[in-house]
Amino acid sequence: MDANLKLLNATKYIGYTILTIGIAIFLYGFFISEYSIATGVGIGTVMGAIFIFLMGVFFVATEEMQKKTTKG
């Protein structure tokens, strides 16, 4: 359980960090920059952060289910 909690916390912190960077890039591209390429990069970064977080949660859930089925 401790290893799962460490993986979940690491995924959470990395996801939040990348999400914050992506939101900052998106806001910069949408409001400040006159080039729309930064907006697309920001959206892609936010989607990547969500994907990383969901994959981490999926790995933790899969590992816990695997431990439960081998014990029972």
Strands, E assignment, the chain: none
At 24 the pLDDT is: 97
DSSP 8-state symbol, 51: H
Q: Enumerate residue ranges in the chain where pLDDT < 70.
A: 1, 71-72
pLDDT digits (tens, 9 = 90+) for 53-72: 999 999 999 998 888 887 65
pLDDT score recorded for residue 72: 59
**Nearest Cα residue to 44 out of 17, 16, 25:** 25
pTM of the model: 0.86
Angle at 50 between CA 7 and CA 61, to 5 degrees: 40
Q: Which residue has the tokens 């431990």?
A: 67
